[in-house]
Amino acid sequence: MKDLINKLYRNHSIIYKGLLFIGTIFLIVYLFPKSGKFKYNFEKGKPWQSENLYAPFNFAVKKTDEEINKEKQSITDNAVLYFNIDSSVETKVANAFQTQFKNIFTDSIAEFDLDNLFNTGNKIIKELYQFGILNEDYKFSESKLVVILDDRVEKNKTLFSNLIKQDKVVAVIDKELSNQNLLKYKTSFVSLFFDLVEPNLSFDKSTTDKVLQEEFNKIVYARGSIEKETLIISKGEVIEGDKYQILKSLQSEYESQVWNQLNYNWILFAYTLLVALALLMLLLFLRKYRPDVFENNTKVTFIFFNILLMVFITTLVVNYNSKYIYVVPICILPLVFKAFFDARLGLFAHVITVLLLGFIVPNSYEYMFLQIIAGIVTILTVSELYKRANLFISVGQITLIYIIAYFAFFVIHEGTVETIKWETFIWFVLCGLATLFVQPLIYIYEKLFGLVSDVSLLELSDTNSKLLKELSNKSPGTFHHSLNVANLAEASANEIGANAMLIRVGALYHDIGKMKNPTYFTENQSTGINPHDELSSKESAKIIIDHVIDGIEIARKNNLPDRVIDFIRTHHGTSLVYYFYKKEKEQQKEVDKLNFSYPGPKPFSKETAILMMCDSVEAASKSLKEPTSTKIDAFVENIINKQIEEGQFLNANITFKEIQSIKKVLKHKLANIYHLRIEYPE
């Protein structure tokens, strides 16, 4: 049992990756749409490239969206409007008219006119309430059929134009008075009816909508059927008109039928295999070409998390409305990976993610083509993410590529630009704006996963930062040395294509441990007093060696990233504090080298190896007396060759050719620092 536990502990990293691999596969497959995939790809207006296609089963030919929308519009145009009537209003108004009429029209009016006026008033009431008076000014077509309901029972049918709007009451009064030659009483009549008339019709929206929906439900979405074994399309035949609609119907029917039958488990298994293959390719890529990333479980988790996040967001958008699919900023993925790793890994992971998304999105070929091209443009254009102008320019280029590619695809499919959906271009612009969110996202990822981007490195390289200010105050000589090393290391990194920003930051902080005992290091001894004179060689060596440990402690206390701390740990490798070792050896025959050796580890990357070379060369260059080009060349060669002989670079992925290039840079830089001139003959 103990052996099993030890074995599991030794292989915990691989076990974790396996669990992460399986978990990611499960989640991605779970997010996939629950449908099969039609095995044929086809496009409208293009020839059928596969063999002759026969109907595999009976299926209905669906109407096009245009046909269905046309039917719905026709039903909407001819839909009946329902109004509720309050029958008591007419009686109430008639009774009120009889009462008020006697008060307004006195006996001084001729009896004939009085009777005529009274009868005309009753006639006006009957005309106003024949169908009813509307309570609002509804904007319906005059030719719309109206059903009037009294307590939910149909009472009358008419056209909407026959219903009286409140602003038409005066016109009805005017018409009736004119017919009876009683216009001289118009003012009194209008005043009377203004107080009496009440609306009695209100629009019944719920009933109208319910009846309309019932009519929609009667729509037949199929316009025929295809029998099994019927030839649908022949090889080379152009896909257009009915042929295209039949193929679309078969595709829809096939996908729903396949998933709902007994093949469910097989399709699920097939999806799992494809997703596993895609993610396995990513893991194999990391293991072969990015072993440092593969060995770091946090970084592998970060990569898988981002891929899963993109699949999740895309699934949400597709389930909501697939027309918004291009709003999802997929190009954030290569930007993030390039910021934390490199362009090659960013592009590879982006392609894998787009291939997975092909199972989710409609028009998968078009989508994958657009996203892969956009990803390539992202990788090629964004060179320095920490420069805001570069990001804005790149986002503009990405958006332009989206628009051009979509326009080309649309013309290929439709053969015209007249029906192009211009709103899609707005989605691309929104996608570009969403891509700008990469800056705060990188900051969030740095805090969550403990990673370091160029943006953070730029902030750390500021010599006005708290820690570097403290270094310059406590150890001015060390600070000046660190600046010189940073310049040498940055130039060397640029020469061989290493991460210049990272190595500059590493160089600025590599000696911060000297702040603990600054006067024990020669560059800070301004008074001419050397405290080592009062110590034994072993004690002096310990103080010198401890600046590495002290530096790590200070760095962790100030929350410096691990990638920067690596430079502090490795900048002396396992080398000897040679001066005190030699001094001790002069006094004793047997000397333990471990007491005079740095704890290591040795440099394990190009950047840490470069820093070790530059640090040693810059520090030792202070001892050169009357430097010449010849002396500097020999001096650089001796120091770096000695480090090679000691095996300090065995763990770093740096070649002899690159070391030669670094030597050349250091020689040139030192020559400039010491202002060497050509030696003229005497």
The C-alpha angle 485, 584, 533, rounded to 5 degrees, equals 70
pLDDT at res. 323: 80
pLDDT at res. 412: 76
pLDDT at res. 609: 95
| pLDDT tens per residue, range 482-529 | 999 999 999 999 999 888 989 999 999 999 999 998 988 888 887 778
Q: Taking residues 129-139, report their average pLDDT.
A: 87
pLDDT at res. 485: 94
pLDDT at res. 387: 66
The whole-angstrom separation of Cα 353 and Cα 469 is: 44
pLDDT at res. 386: 62
Tokens representing 11?
Answer: 């292989």
The C-alpha angle 554, 558, 559, rounded to 5 degrees, equals 115
pLDDT at res. 662: 95
Out of 25-34, 295-304, 364-373, 629-638, the most confident range is 295-304
pLDDT at res. 396: 87
pLDDT value at 563 more than 90: no
pLDDT at res. 38: 65
The C-alpha angle 248, 252, 254, rounded to 5 degrees, equals 115
Note whether 134 and 166 are within 8 A (CB): yes
pLDDT at res. 602: 92
For 454-673, give the CATH class. mainly alpha
pLDDT at res. 384: 65
Ranges 3-7, 403-407, 496-500, 647-651: which has the least confidence:
3-7
Q: Model pTM?
A: 0.64
Contacts of 285 (CB under 8 A, 6+ apart): 345, 348
Q: Taking residues 344-360, report their average pLDDT.
A: 93
Ordered strands of the 81-85 beta sheet:
153-159, 145-150, 81-85, 201-203
What percent of the chain shows pLDDT beyond 90?
Answer: 32
pLDDT at res. 106: 63
Q: Taking residues 598-614, report their average pLDDT.
A: 92
The C-alpha angle 623, 629, 631, rounded to 5 degrees, equals 45
Question: Helical H runs in 290-331?
Answer: 291-295, 297-320
Which among 156, 140, 148, 30 is positioned nearest to 84, based on CA atoms? 148
Region of 181 on the Ramachandran plot (φ > 0 left; ψ -120 to 50 alpha; else beta):
left
pLDDT value at 3 more than 80: no
Torsion sign (Cα): 220, 222, 223, 228? negative
Region of 485 on the Ramachandran plot (φ > 0 left; ψ -120 to 50 alpha; else beta):
alpha
The C-alpha angle 552, 558, 562, rounded to 5 degrees, equals 55
The whole-angstrom separation of Cα 343 and Cα 439 is: 17
Out of 218-227, 260-269, 489-498, 617-626, the most confident range is 489-498
pLDDT at res. 8: 66
pLDDT at res. 679: 54
Ranges 36-40, 177-181, 248-252: which has the least confidence:
36-40
| pLDDT tens per residue, range 389-417 | 777 888 888 888 888 888 888 787 767 77
pLDDT value at 576 more than 70: yes
pLDDT at res. 184: 72
Give residue limits of the domains in the chain.
Answer: 2-26+264-445, 32-63+220-260, 75-215, 454-673
| Cis bond upstream, residue 334 (ω within 30) | no
Q: Taking residues 567-586, report their average pLDDT.
A: 86
Higher-scoring residue by pLDDT: 474, 455 = 474
The whole-angstrom separation of Cα 643 and Cα 662 is: 14
Higher-scoring residue by pLDDT: 309, 414 = 309
Q: Taking residues 63-75, report their average pLDDT.
A: 86
Note whether 331 and 283 are within 8 A (CB): no
The whole-angstrom separation of Cα 175 and Cα 180 is: 9
Ranges 20-34, 60-74, 375-389, 495-509: which has the least confidence:
375-389
DSSP string, 336-395: HHHHHS-HHHHHHHHHHHHHHHTTTSSSHHHHHHHHHHHHHHHHHH-S-TTSHHHHHHHH
Q: Taking residues 449-472, report their average pLDDT.
A: 87
pLDDT at res. 639: 92
Higher-scoring residue by pLDDT: 389, 530 = 530
In what helix (H) or strand (E) does residue 230 lie, and over which residues does it extend?
none
Contacts of 618 (CB under 8 A, 6+ apart): 481, 484, 485, 488
pLDDT at res. 629: 81
The whole-angstrom separation of Cα 609 and Cα 647 is: 11
Q: How confident is the model at residue 286 (pLDDT cuts 50, 70, 90)?
A: very high
Chain centroid, CA 102 distance in Å? 79
Ranges 76-90, 247-261, 314-328, 485-499: which has the least confidence:
247-261
Mean pLDDT of the chain: 84
- Residue 83 pairs in a beta bridge with 148, 203
Q: Taking residues 582-608, report their average pLDDT.
A: 84
The whole-angstrom separation of Cα 244 and Cα 248 is: 6
pLDDT at res. 39: 66
Helix axes 388-414, 438-449, angle to 10 degrees: 120
What percent of the chain shows pLDDT beyond 70?
Answer: 91
pLDDT at res. 475: 92
What does the DSSP 8-state code read for residue 529?
-
